[in-house]
């Protein structure tokens, strides 16, 4: 975060991310599990594919969804 935003903004972004994680843990009453937090779901995979398709091509690579 520091490289993209700068030191002060990076600290604020990381603090905000930690606050969201803690709020979710307190609200749900479940412990933090990195495996479930970053699990790839069909919705997240579709969102990532849409993001990659909108980016300007760095080379002649064409994205094709996996079956």
Residue 29 lies in a domain: yes
Which domain range does residue 19 map to? 1-33
Residue 41 lies in a domain: no
Q: What is the mean pLDDT of residues 2-31?
A: 87
Find the helix or strand (DSSP H, E) in which 53 lies.
helix 42-54
What whole-number distance in Å separates Cα of residue 46 and Cα of residue 11?
Answer: 30
Euclidean distance between the first and final Cα of the chain, in Å? Answer: 34
Residue 53 lies in a domain: no
Q: CA triplet 52, 58, 63: central angle to 5 degrees?
A: 40
* 18-64 confidence digits (pLDDT tens): 999 899 889 989 888 888 777 888 998 999 888 888 877 666 667 67
Residue 39 lies in a domain: no
Model pLDDT, residue 2: 60
Contacts within 8 Å (CB) and 24+ apart, 42-48: none
């Amino acid at each position: 975060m520091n490289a993209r935003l700068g030191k002060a903004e990076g600290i604020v972004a990381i603090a905000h991310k930690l606050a969201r994680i803690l709020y979710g843990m307190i609200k749900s009453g479940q412990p933090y599990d990195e495996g479930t937090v970053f699990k790839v779901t069909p919705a997240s995979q579709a969102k990532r594919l849409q993001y990659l398709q909108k980016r300007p091509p760095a080379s002649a690579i064409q994205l094709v969804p996996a079956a």
